[in-house]
Amino acid sequence: MSDIAILLIGLLAGVSSGFFGIGGAVVLVPALVYIFKYPQHYAQGTALAALLLPVGILAVMKYYKAGNVNVKAAAFIALGFFAGGLIGAVFAQAVPSPVLKKLFGALLFFISIFMLFGK
């Protein structure tokens, strides 16, 4: 696929991130798997590489200025994310790509059910 198509997927992920507070894995991984035909591990690794830089800084600044950021909680989440990302990546490498794709889909499914029907 073209660089323009990849850029547009990034733009969609960015808009989703700024609007919903999500976008990285939820938009990028399925797009890379189903549109660009990346294997699951390759899609996840590429999405993580794209998110490595502070891509959300402008959105965070808007939320912060509106008083909608708990900086202390964000710092602790980032610390846990830092360690958890390594742990998750180590375990993911041992999972076959078709199984990993199904696990990713199941995670999105259960999150969507909870968001739609939970309290």
Q: Domains in the chain: how many in total?
A: 1
Residue 113 is predicted with a pLDDT of 95
Distance CA 64, CA 66 (A): 5
| pTM, two decimal places | 0.75
Range of the domain at 64: 3-117
Using alpha carbons, list the distances in angstroms from residue 31 to 7, 36, 55, 67, 71.
Answer: 12, 7, 18, 32, 31
The model's pLDDT over 38-92, given as tens digits with 9 standing for 90+, comes to: 999 999 888 888 887 777 888 889 999 999 999 999 898 889 888 988 999 999 9
